[in-house]
Chains A and B, each alone.
Chain A
């Protein structure tokens, strides 16, 4: 039970923030009911959602998370958006689509999800399927530059994995 309460803490903070923002006011009534709602929903879901509560409260991981976000939004997304926009607007429409294998090396579920979502969220690459046993993403790529799995990994997901493993793994 103690570990369940400990696990619930990071989740409860998240739910409380969303509760207050959704409610749109912060009187005593909102704060009290918000704490009740956060405690209820986080205790209910704690064992399902969170495995190691220490990770979510570690400031070093948050630092790496912010670095990940900055790299992701200002470098990866911008590059990918401009690339696909060029492909859409150019009259000849230069696309070479195909589904390639991209191996991953990150460990935890959250890291795998973060990498997969980063891949899908950058235009030009969509994760079609995931094989947890072979540790492979199947990625639909708008411009297949290589058929070698390692080469694909280098071009698509290596940078994401480097950040994600520091934020979520270990």
Chain B
């Protein structure tokens, strides 16, 4: 029981720590410091997710919220303003901060004392039990996803259509950002001495980037077996080009001839892969004159076709989940690369293209 209490103590520390970090992030006038506090909050949340038994979330949340997102906000601060123009009294600030902490502890005590608090229940809802029972169960083959990873099964099999539409939202957000920067093309000559960080940083980045790519691919391709999947692998993969961008500078991408158009092509082929996998069984069924569903993974009642879930030597393949994960990782990674490439174009240059005509009016 002591170990269980310790476990919850760690959770509570993460919660209280995140309150402090969020408070500091919100009231801070210097945006650089605010981003730092926000990253501390993200780290504490990631630890909290780990303690709440959500390893899948940890694997996406760490690259997204601790890596990509502060980097993007730092780009934003560099291109706009660093300080917020607001006056607040020191006394009021400290009182608010302390009051929020006291509020948390007091209300928690009240809730626990009454015995009606959000005690983690010993059981989950009936629906969750159903999902868990059918995630990987050869005995109920006709309703199972046949992959041991519960979260990925739900993402791509039980609620597959949902995920496809959410991928469309992601795609539209990125297309909209690209549209805002339309017509901006910037190329430069990479100079090893002038651009990027020092030689030491560059050499180590050269070694670390292939390792990050390897780990990202591992997360994506084992999504149906262990915590991981397309989103997680893609956001882990996106850290590698970001690292190259920060350490080597934007002009290095021009040197190796990796352009926005190429990234867009990779992204589109990833999305095409997602689409093809969604329709694959249906297309096969049309030729074989058999009934089938869109997004079908395993054989269902009245639809006898399906992806193989077991390879040679009893290797689990997870049916369509494997293909979905690989394509989604490609699409997510390339999508973020496009945005980083756009964000890294020098502001002075963009200004001359985007608002060049309109500025004369003022």
Contacts and interface: CB of A to CB of B under 8 A. Distances in A.
A and B touch in the complex (CB under 8 A): yes
Interface of A: 11, 14-16, 18-19, 22-24, 27-30, 33-34, 36-38, 40-42, 44-45, 48-49, 109-110, 112-113, 116-117, 127, 129-130, 132-133
A37 B214 contact: yes
22 contacts: A11-B210, A18-B215, A19-B217, A22-B214, A27-B313, A28-B313, A29-B315, A33-B221, A33-B222, A36-B217, A37-B217, A37-B218, A40-B217, A41-B210, A44-B213, A45-B209, A49-B209, A49-B210, A109-B199, A109-B202, A130-B198, A130-B199
Nearest to A16: B214
A33 B213 contact: no
B116 interface: no
A4 to B, nearest CB: 13
Interface in B211-225: 211, 213-215, 217-218, 221-222
Given A14-B211, A18-B211, A130-B200, A33 B217 contact: yes
B226 to A, nearest CB: 8
Given A23-B222, A33-B217, A28 B312 contact: yes
Given A28-B313, A29-B316, A22 B215 contact: yes
A27 B200 contact: no
User: Which of A23, A28, A112, A127 is the most central at the interface, judged by chain B CB atoms within 10 Å of its CB?
Assistant: A23
Interface in B239-281: 256
B351 interface: no
Q: Which 4 A-B pairs have the closest CB atoms?
A: A41-B213, A37-B217, A113-B203, A15-B214
A29 B148 CA distance: 15
Chain B, interface size category, equals: 20 to 34
Given A22-B215, A40-B217, A117 B210 contact: no
A74 to B, nearest CB: 24
B227 to A, nearest CB: 11
A112 B214 contact: no
Contacts of A27: 313, 315
Nearest to B228: A23
A45 B214 contact: no
B199 A49 contact: no
Nearest to B212: A41
A22 B218 contact: yes
Main secondary structure of the interface of A (DSSP, over half): helix
B214 A41 contact: yes
Q: Which of B207, B213, B214, B312 has the most CB of A within 10 A?
A: B214
A15 B315 contact: no
A49 B244 CA distance: 12
B214 to A, nearest CB: 4
A23 B218 contact: yes
B128 interface: no
Given A15-B211, A113-B203, 13 more contacts: A18-B215, A22-B214, A27-B315, A33-B222, A37-B213, A48-B206, A49-B209, A109-B203, A112-B200, A113-B199, A113-B200, A130-B200, A133-B193
Contacts of A15: 210-211, 213-214
Contact of A19 (B199, B214, B256, B311): B214
A119 to B, nearest CB: 10
Interface string B21-61: 00000000000000000000000000000000000000000
Given A19-B218, A22-B218, A27-B315, A132 B193 contact: yes
B210 A42 contact: yes
Nearest to B312: A28
